Each structure stands twice: as structure tokens, then as C-alpha cells.
Structure 1
Amino acid sequence: MEADATRLRLIALVLAVASMGLVALALLLGAGGLDAELIVVLRAPRVAAAAGVGALLALAGLAMQVLLRNPLADPYVLGTSGGAAMGALLALSLGLSLAFGAALGALLAAGALLLIARRALAASDDASARLILSGAMLAALFGAAVSLLLTITPDQRLRGAIFWLVGDLSGASGGVWCLLGAALLVLALLARQRSVDRLLIGSEAAALLGEPVRRLRLELLVAAALATALAVATAGAVGFVGLVVPQTLRLLGVQRTRWLAPLSALGGAALLIGADLLARLVAAPMELPVGAVMALIGAPVFIVLLARPRS
């Protein structure tokens, strides 16, 4: 037990140091040098947005993996990202708030999933397959809707819309709200840590231990949908964060929600800050879509982690 606690503290320390180092690099490096006004007005809000979005996506991935009892789940597997993207593009076309459209789209996706797979929230371990299939159907439906919206988007907005769908932090704002949302989600998971850990054992086992499985699954689904909506509204569709971060921590031996929740938030923030830093520097003065950079980082790292022999 003492060795496990020491390892967990070491992981937390490494993540904290890496996060602070990446924040410092992201603030200091880039076009324009060390101009104080540039750092405060442009870089600091972007770093805050990257940290908040990364933390939200990692926590949403953790919630999805608990809900489905599947380590390969991420915030996009149940169609919440597609719904948020569709709502955001529709709001953009109508001149409405992007955040409002994304939130409404994500909640619409979550509501549709609940209507389609009501029984999948019951205390049955067969529910995960029904939820995944229903989510895949909704993701395809929302993907088609996004394609249709892109075809009617004016040419002057089309490039920006596509860039945003891939994932873009160049004009991101609202990082404070993302950080606040991530902090609230961490607190919520910590408050229900025993129930979440029991749900990971199995739905039927959790029900026998007196846990309200249906309500807990509903809470996880809504929390993941809201977190994804806020992240998509801020930075567009950035993938792999929610998939890679919680699974990497589990492969490193972090299993309990008490540690997984805060470390997932910290790891997601550090990962997306690093990806955004690469997006700004690799092809400077041009900027790459952070979503594409994240995919180039996340896919190989995840393959290597899966290929590692278990100790």
C-alpha cells in the first residue's frame, strides 16, 4: 500500500511539473517574442482554454469509460461530440451563440440516446453494447447533418468552419469557464468516488452493493455530454484526449477514482497545452489545427501503450 501511494504521488508530481513547464513554454514561446501585452492578451487566454478543454475532455473520457466499462471509450463514442458540432454549426449559420448551440446539440444527443436506449441504463452488464451501438448510430446521423451544414455554409466562413471542426484554439476564449467546469466535474466525481469504483466492478455487483446504477449512469452520461459540449464550443472537435489520458493513467497503475479524477484533469490539460504549443511552432508563422496535431500524438502513443507488456 505504501509503495502504491508513493507511485501515485510521483505520478502526480511529474504531471504537475510537466503542466507548469508546458504553461511557461506556451506563454513565452512563439511569434512576437516576450512582449508582455502579447502574453497577457493573446497567449494566456489561449493557454487557459487549452488547459480547460483538455481537462474537460479527459474527464468526459473517464466518465464514458466508467459508464460503458470499456477502456476504449471516449467523449465522442456516444455521439455527444457530433451533436455538439451540429448544434454549433447551426448556431453559427443563424448568428447565434456558438456555446449555446454546442450545449444544446450535446444535450439533444444525450436525450436522443436516452430515448433510444432507456433499458441500457439498467443494472445489466449487457447495456454497454446497446449504448455503444446506439451512440454509433447517432454519431453517423450527426456526422451527416454536419456535412449538410457545411455544404450550405457561405464560402467566406467555410474554411474557418472546417478548421474549427478539426480543432482550433487560435481564437479560443472562455478558458476560465472550461477550467471552472473541469473543477466542478472533478469534485462531483470525488463526491461519488465509491459508487463510481463499484460501477467499474460491474453493474450487477454495484446494484447488489446498494448503488443506484440507473441514476449513476444517467449522471455520468449528462456530465460527459455537458463537458464535451463546453469543450467543443471552445475549441471545436479535438479527439484522443479523453481516450488516451485515463487509459494511460490506468496502465501506470492508477485505478481508483480518488486519484483518477484529478490526475485525468491535470494530464488532459498538460497534453492539450503541449499539442497546441506544437501546433503553433512546427510550421510557424502558420498554425496547424490542434485537433490534427492531437491525433498525430495520441494515436501512436495509444498504440505503444497498448503494445506494452503488462507487469
Structure 2
Amino acid sequence: MTSAAQPTIHKKGRERGSRRRLSLAIPISALVASILAVLVVSGATGQVEVSGIDAAKIVIGHLVADMPWMSDGSLSTLQDQAVWQFRLPRALLAGLSGAGLALAGAIMQVVVRNPLAEPYILGVSSGASVGAVLVIVSGGAAFAGLTMSGAAFAGAVIACILVALLARRRGELSPTRMILAGVALGSLLSAVTSYLTITTDAQNVVSVMFFLLGSVSAATMSSLLIPTVALLIASVAVFGLARSMNALLAGDESALAVGVRTTRLRGALLVIASLLTGAIVAVSGGIGFVGLVIPHVARIFVGSDHRRMLPITVLAGTLFLMVADLLARTVAAPSEIPLGILTAFVGAPFFLWLMRRGGEKAGIDR
């Protein structure tokens, strides 16, 4: 290769990189704008009448000191409480839950090399459910007096540890054994949850069912801390491992050939996905289909490169569950539909459509 040709090659490479960054910036900008729009609509939707502009002003007024509209009487105390204490926290928690479940789903599909994997495949949700239900039926006496969220997270961690121990073979984590162990353990823990539900007092059954089907109706600003921290830590860790995840998705032999320690990587990803799922399930209950569908949607739009796919997955999961929560509290108002029911109604047909229309590009036909 001549020295004159090298600058041309480097220039073309830079141009391709610039085009890739530009093409990724477009869907990211669209998703961020849509998320902000849904936040405003969520703040303005409810029994207490608040316009979209007033909802935005209330949020800004709490974030920025000495805003004049917060003290000039144009906004009532009831409007302020409705937006800041109820609508905004649940919209944010729905967004965090969607982002966390979507990211965990993308991770699990790499860990077990199965495009049908999702965050609950390893029994983490079932472990969290047992912990939460124990607290509900025992009035806090179980799990050393932990709160429901704390007990749910503890149950998720225990389930993760058990699956990891059962799936190890000759010092390595086998994807097939992980799936089998997760399915078996999940079934066992689901049976425990069912037994606790049918043997508890009638007044506890509604609380149990709402947790099992998923809901963010009890969200508060303080309840956002755990999922926010978990999502930030998981995102930083996983984005740094994106290249290795690309190699692992191609198979263990290919990954080893490029220097990826597959067992260590798979173990790290398993811990990240399980703890992230546990943190989300602990505050929002069992919400299905987000971690299964959203990663496939991201792959269809931006491809399978995890450096591009993961940011889209996180933002799309945020938007999807925020919209789902908005529908859950408005479609049958004044009653509320559990999020798990709504995501199943939307997610199952959409996933079937993905299989028919975009299966190969989404990785379903591999």
C-alpha cells in the first residue's frame, strides 16, 4: 500500500465513523424528546386538572429556586402535590423500570446466547416475589423486618446465587444449565408464592396480586434512589463491556480467539443483570415483555452492535413503560390496570409481529 493511499483510507474511516455517530444521534434525540413529552403529558393527566405548561412549571419550580409562579398564586397547592408528589414520581419510576428491564433483557440474551431470553428467565423475579409476599403475609416479620422492597431485593439476590451455583460445571457457567436451573428454580419459587397467596388473609391478596402483576402507583421520590443507582452502575459497567459482548454473542470459541475470558465475562454479566432486575422488581413488581421485546426493537433499528444497540435499548425501554403506565392509569379510570397486564397485551402481539416481519434482523431466526 502506497503512502499516498493511507490518508485516503483514514479519511474514509473517519467519514464512516461520523456517519454512524450521526445516524445514532437521530434516534437518540427522537427518543429523548418523546420521553420528555410523555413526562409532561403524564404530569398533566389525572383527576386534578393541570395543563401541560403548568405541569412543566411545577417541575421546574421545584428544581430551580425562586421561580415566581411558585408563589404568585397561579398554581394551587393541590396541583403542586398532584404533579410533584404523585404523577412525576410514578412516571419516573416507570421509566427507570423500563430502562432497567430492557437493559437486563439485552444482557441476558448475550449471557445465555438465546434471543428469547429475558430478565426473569433465571428465576430472579420469582425470588423477589417470594421475598415481597413473605413480608405482605407476615406483616413485616419475615426477612428480619425488612421492607417489602428490601425483602424483594434480598430474594432476588438469593435466587441469583442459587442459579449460579446450580449452573456451574467444571468451574464454568454453562448457558444451557443456567436456563434449565433458572426455569426449575423459578417454577419452585412460583409455587411457594402461590402457596403463600392462597393461605394468607383475604385483605392481603390484592396487595400480593398487584405486586406480582406490576405497578408503580406507590412511587415516591425516595423510591427512585435504588433503581436509579442500580441503572447507572449497570449502564456504566455494561457499556464498557460492549465490545466483549459482541464477541460473546458470536460464540465462546470466537470470543476466546480475540482474548475474551468468557466464563469471567458471563459471570459478571449474570451478576449485573440479576442485581439490576432485583432492584427493579423490588420497587415495581413483576412486569413482563419489556426485557424480551425492546432489545429486539433496538436491533432492528440500529443493528446488533452493542455499542449502538444498548443506548437505544435503555431509552426505548424508558419510553415504552412510561407510555404503558400512562395508559394503565387512564384507560380504565378511575380504576388502574396493573402494568404487567398491559405490557403483556401490547408485548405479546408485537413480539409475534417481530418474528414475522423482522425476525432475522432482530436475531430471532438465528
TM-score range, shorter chain: over 0.9
**2:213 is the alignment partner of 1:166:** yes
Whether the 8 Å contact between 1:275 and 1:294 is mirrored in structure 2 is yes
**Correspondence 1:286 to 2:302:** no
Counterpart in the other structure of 1:8: 24
- Counting matched residue pairs gives 308
Alignment correspondent of 1:112? 162
Q: TM-score, normalised by structure 1?
A: 0.93
Shift in Å at residue 119 of structure 1?
A: 2.1
Structure-2-length-normalised TM-score: 0.80
> Which one has more relative contact order, counting CA pairs under 8 Å at least 6 apart?
1
Q: Distance in 2 between matches of 1:180 and 1:129?
A: 31
Aligned counterpart in structure 2 of residue 229 of structure 1, from 259, 274, 278: 278
Q: 2:189 aligns with which of 108, 131, 142?
A: 142
Map of 1:253 onto structure 2: 302
Moved more, 56-65 or 178-187: 178-187
Q: Is the 8 A contact 1:182 1:265 kept in 2?
A: no
Q: CA offset at residue 121 of structure 1?
A: 7.4
Amino acid at match of 1:65: Q
**Who is 1:97 aligned against?**
147
TM-superposed CA distance for 1:79, in Å, is 0.8
- Contact map agreement 2:302 2:309 (CA 8 A) in 1: no
Query: Which residue of 99, 116, 122 maps to 1:78?
Result: 122
Tell me the percent identity: 36
| Deviation readout 1:2-36 (Å, 9 max, x if unpaired) | 65444322221221122111111111112212122
Give me the whole-angstrom Cα distance separating, in 2, the residues matched to 1:103 and 1:218. 19
Q: Alpha-carbon deviation of 1:152?
A: 2.4
AA at the equivalent of 1:209: V
Note if 1:26 corresponds to 2:42: yes
Report if aligned partners of 2:86, 2:219 keep a CA contact under 8 Å in 1. Answer: no
Partner in structure 1 of residue 65 of structure 2: none
Question: What amino acid is the match of 2:85?
Answer: V
Once the two structures are superposed, what CA deviation does each residue of 1:172-199 show, in whole Å capped at 9, x if it has no partner? 3412331232122111111222222211
Report which stretch shifted further, 199-208 or 62-71.
Answer: 199-208
- Greater Cα offset, 255-264 or 154-163: 255-264
In structure 2, runs of 5+ residues without a counterpart are 1-15, 51-78, 141-145, 362-366
Deviation string 1:144-177 (CA, Å, 9 cap, x unpaired) is: 0110111222211111111221111111341233
Contact map agreement 1:48 1:176 (CA 8 A) in 2? no
Tell me whether 1:41 sits opposite 2:94 in the alignment.
no
Q: Quick one: structure 1 residues 238 and 248, their matched pair in 2 at CA, closer, same or farther if it must change by over 3 Å? A: same
Q: Contact conserved, 1:53 with 1:175, CA < 8 A, in 2? A: no
